[in-house]
Structure 1
Amino acid sequence: MNITNQSAIWKWSRIALTIGVVAVAALTFPRWWPQLNQWVEGAVASRRTAPVGGHGHGHGVDESHDDHGHDHGDHAGHSEEESLDLSAQARRNIGLTDEHVRPVTLQTFRRSMTVPAIVTERPGRTRIRVATPLTGLVTRIHAVQGEAVQPGTLLFDIRLTHEDLVQTQTEFLQALGELDVELREIARLKEVSQSGAVPGRLILERQYAKEKLEAQLTAQREALRLHGLSDRQVEEVEETRRLLRELHIAVPEPQKPDNGELQLSNRRIQPVAYVQNGADATESSDSMPPLVLQELMVHRGQAVTAGEDLCVVADYDELYIEGQAFERDAAAIARAQQQDWTVTAEFESTDGGGTVGGLEIAFLSNEVDADSRTLAFYVNLPNEIIRDKVNRRDQRFISWQYRPGQRLKLHVPVEEWENEIVVPVEAVAHEGAEYYVFQENGGHFDRVAVHVKYRDRNSVVIANDGSIFPGDVIAMRGAHQMQMALKNKAGGAIDPHAGHSH
């Protein structure tokens, strides 16, 4: 073998060996890189903490660092200055529980605008006026103002004093009696006529008389209905053959037609206070939310005329939120309704409900207020009972969570962004032009600088640029306190307003 061939063999051998080493290194990268990276960080950290003369606090300063001992050129390495250890007590102090340390996920974020609003009643639904259809005298009131009452339960006893009604009922009963006589006489004549002793003409005359009485009764029934009696009450008078002397007026059912709030005195009525456990309470009434006797307009012994209001009951089971938007925002609100985007209500006081999301826009007004130049729109607000108590007199009083007149703010979506990193505002610390999140790394948290695309009072949208990735576990609250602790650890001055937006 000549020297030229020998040199070529060594050359190609070195090339093949180099390629093999690179391939092995690439295949085994996950095994050796973490150890090497940890060794390098440890070496750098030991160099920084090595004692150097002239520094009374015992911390060395690398020549590549500034006067504060921070390496501004290397945030990605997560050095000691960027890492924070928190004790279990410290975590509890800032509310950093397990549920607030979770992975980052991609979400759909809706940018919203804020408009002032107020809780209002539903016109024609919330307030129900209870009136008497007949003239009479109030003899008893079974509920007090403010009490919770169930549909179908007793409110008032009224003794009827209308002379025309008494006379009409009397004539109706007389006609019923005469009809009974005619029916018995016709039956007797038919039996006798079989022997030929009674002519058929006599039976025919009795048949005509019966038909006249039936026509008279039909007219009298209509007269009783015009006086305000229901079909059931007319039938009750006909069956019992007794005059209707007293009315029991009960609580009407919301969203249903008038089908029985006037009840006869001989019908068993469950008093209002015992409706929850009463034997006569119907299943449908028990399943319905209670009403509130909002206003009582009469007193015992008062004479009332037909059509006069007796009380007002209120159904607070569902209310409206009336938002007042500017005229220029009408298109954005209409688009949100068309896209079926839900709105969020933010109440001014925490006891009034805090923040409620997932509310649907009911409708937009078709008129713009000429004075304020605002457009009203309405949002459905389901309500719930937060207090339910029965006193020693068996009177029930309830408190609803939302009440007409409450002030609040509505956050209406105007734009939708998909696949964004969205975190609570408490998860991001702010210092100057920098925004930071704290990523969990073993038993400590590493501060990571991020780019904030959008921020409001509740949420922050972080750019998905590689600073953090979906799946990274970060602290979802307490970022401001952790930033202050990190600055205190580094010996820098603490800005008490850092991380807050005013």
Structure 2
Amino acid sequence: MALKAFYVSLAVLLGISGWWGWRTWQTSTQSTEAPAAATVKPPLGSVPVRISPQAKANMGLVSAPTKPGTYWRTAEFPAVIVEKPGITSRGVVAPIAGVVSKIHAFPGDTVAANAPLATLRLLSDSVYSSQLELFKATKDSAITKSQIERLSAAAASGALPKSRLIELENELERQAATIQAYRQDLAARGVAEEQIDAVGKGEFLTEMTVYAPAADSATQSIVDQREVPFTFEVESLEVELGQQVAAGDVLFKLADHSQLLIEGRGFKDDLPLIQAAVSNGWNAEVDLPTSPEGDWPELSHEFQIDRVSNSIDPQTRTFGFFVALGNQQQAYARDGKNRVMWRFRPGSQLRLRVPVEKFENVFVVPQAAVVWEGPEAFVFQQDGQFFHRRPVQVLHQDRLNAVVAAGAGIRSGDYLAQGSAASLNRIMKSQAQEASGAPPGMHVHPDGTTHAAH
């Protein structure tokens, strides 16, 4: 009985020992295999990237030779196109009280200077009174002249006292002054010269036509430079047929968008930058909208800062600075009426870049031509179908361009990829991983460390 218990205990002990030995062997195997997989380090960056012509076309990859030049670091400001005060918009008012009986121009129409806009039926008692007094004074003057002619011979012979003739001449002068006063009154109300002459003959004015203003001295210089005739565009019609208006009421709003302004806004801390640009005569650069069809003439994107506001908006805490913008137009016709389409419109949002710092003898590449890995920056130099990654020193970078120091990894005349640097960097790492024989599931970090896929 004791012998049987001994054999049972021995069997249990042997089983436990066997399990423990198997467990130890399994653990040592895993510990030796895992580090072997984790220490695989493919040679990153040592293999040039090979890109086929089809891949280049798919990526839109373009290379261009480097050329040292000058670059201005700029400060970017939000800007908006605004109307030029006193030039862009103007109102046309009713010269007298009346009722709108006819409308000659409507919103969207183009009208030449001095073109008819609307006709008013007169309701002004003062205008009727001025016409009546002008007619009476004109008739009295004619009668007085007739009397002087008739009595001149009698006064010369002594049959009539000369004092009578002098009284008639004085009366004629007073009547002439009265006529001049009423003519001026009617002219000030917008009555044309030929209409005033007709009133003196008894043809009273019952309607008045309101005309577009003439091109003044402020716009005449602009008109002389145009290839198309000067016109206003009817921006809005403020009245309706049959509406009664008083003298001074706005009838139309006309627009001339040939001259506009670009208003940039900056904070108080930005004021020294703007002042330096104005003092040194540095031109600001504007991102003007362009048409892909190229149906507008070429226009320079560099403009001189015209003026800087001397006050700060208390609500936004910003100040304004302004750039003059000459507009471009295209004419077309609809239903027999002329229309005009302007390239730039008030309210359009823009970006305005003001020069701040000058870099000389540098390479300028698109922002997408540079890829960063921590503090390191790289570009890709083309050699046939191969692209070599080159380290560079980036002096400045904005949302459009990167400024690279000359002689830092690249030379003048080297062909560099103008974009897709991040994609080329990923392809390079993938090709380097394949060349190293690393397992397919291996993940490579930018610093060269690797680990198995999660």
Using structure 2 for the length normalisation, give the TM-score.
0.70
Q: 1:342 aligns with which of 276, 283, 286?
A: 283
1:131 aligns to 2:105 (yes or no): no
Q: Secondary structure at the match of 1:157?
A: strand
Measured in 2, the distance between the counterparts of 1:296 and 1:196 equals 68
1:7-156 alignment to 2 at 5 Å? 67-69=41-43, 72=46, 81-82=47-48, 84-87=50-53, 89-96=54-61, 101-156=63-118
Measured in 1, the distance between the counterparts of 2:217 and 2:96 equals 21
Q: 1:238 aligns with which of 169, 189, 197?
A: 197
Letter paired with 1:129: G
1:448 aligns to 2:390 (yes or no): yes
1:113-262 alignment to 2 at 5 Å? 113-180=75-142, 201=162, 207-226=169-188, 228-229=189-190, 233-234=192-193, 236-238=195-197, 241=201, 242-253=203-214, 256=217
Shift in Å, 1:458 = 0.6
Q: Secondary structure at the match of 2:277?
A: helix
Relative to structure 1, is the Cα distance of residues 319 and 217 closer, same or farther in structure 2, using a 3 angstrom cutoff? same
Letter paired with 1:82: P
Residues 304-345 of structure 1: per-residue CA shift (max 9 Å, x gap): 111111122233333333333221111111112222223344
Question: Any conservation in 2 of the 1:125–1:255 contact (CA below 8 Å)?
Answer: no
1:331 aligns to 2:331 (yes or no): no
1:391 aligns to 2:334 (yes or no): yes
Q: Which residue of 2 aligns with 1:298?
A: 239
Aligned length: 389
Question: Any conservation in 2 of the 1:289–1:317 contact (CA below 8 Å)?
Answer: no
Measured in 1, the distance between the counterparts of 2:217 and 2:99 equals 27
Larger Rg belongs to: 2
Shift in Å, 1:370 = 3.0
Q: Secondary structure at the match of 1:112?
A: strand
Q: 1:365 aligns with which of 300, 309, 325?
A: 309
Question: Any conservation in 1 of the 2:327–2:343 contact (CA below 8 Å)?
Answer: yes
Q: Which residue of 1 aligns with 2:252?
A: 311
Relative to structure 1, is the Cα distance of residues 474 and 255 closer, same or farther in structure 2, using a 3 angstrom cutoff? farther
Measured in 2, the distance between the counterparts of 1:94 and 1:189 equals 106
Q: 1:457 aligns with which of 380, 399, 418?
A: 399
Q: Secondary structure at the match of 1:416?
A: strand
Q: Secondary structure at the match of 2:128?
A: helix
Shift in Å, 1:238 = 2.1
Measured in 2, the distance between the counterparts of 1:419 and 1:177 equals 87
Question: Any conservation in 2 of the 1:439–1:472 contact (CA below 8 Å)?
Answer: yes
Residues 152-183 of structure 1: per-residue CA shift (max 9 Å, x gap): 33221112221221221233234334445555
Q: Which residue of 2 aligns with 1:29?
A: none
Shift in Å, 1:459 = 0.9
Residues 72-126 of structure 1: per-residue CA shift (max 9 Å, x gap): 5xxxxxxxx3254541x44443334xxx644322332221223334443333433
Q: Which structure ranks higher in relative contact order (CA pairs < 8 Å, sequence separation ≥ 6)?
A: 2
Relative to structure 1, is the Cα distance of residues 494 and 340 closer, same or farther in structure 2, using a 3 angstrom cutoff? farther
Shift in Å, 1:457 = 0.3
Residues 456-497 of structure 1: per-residue CA shift (max 9 Å, x gap): 1011100012532333343333444444444444446899x9
Q: Which residue of 2 aligns with 1:9?
A: none
Q: Which residue of 2 aligns with 1:47?
A: none
Relative to structure 1, is the Cα distance of residues 257 and 431 closer, same or farther in structure 2, using a 3 angstrom cutoff? closer
Q: Which residue of 1 aligns with 2:356?
A: 414
Residues 245-273 of structure 1: per-residue CA shift (max 9 Å, x gap): 322222225655899xxxxxxxxxxxxxx
Relative to structure 1, is the Cα distance of residues 285 and 421 closer, same or farther in structure 2, using a 3 angstrom cutoff? closer
Q: Which residue of 2 aligns with 1:423?
A: 365
Shift in Å, 1:208 = 4.5
Letter paired with 2:378: Y
Question: Any conservation in 2 of the 1:317–1:384 contact (CA below 8 Å)?
Answer: yes
Question: Any conservation in 2 of the 1:148–1:396 contact (CA below 8 Å)?
Answer: yes
Letter paired with 1:214: A
Letter paired with 2:128: V
Q: Which residue of 1 aligns with 2:323?
A: 379
Give ranges in structure 1 of 5+ residues lacking alignment: 1-65, 73-80, 260-281, 498-502
Letter paired with 1:337: V
Measured in 2, the distance between the counterparts of 1:440 and 1:200 equals 116
Residues 425-453 of structure 1: per-residue CA shift (max 9 Å, x gap): 13333344443333344565544332211
Measured in 2, the distance between the counterparts of 1:204 and 1:310 equals 51
Question: Any conservation in 1 of the 2:261–2:323 contact (CA below 8 Å)?
Answer: yes
Measured in 2, the distance between the counterparts of 1:253 and 1:218 equals 25
Measured in 2, the distance between the counterparts of 1:224 and 1:151 equals 22
Shift in Å, 1:203 = 7.0
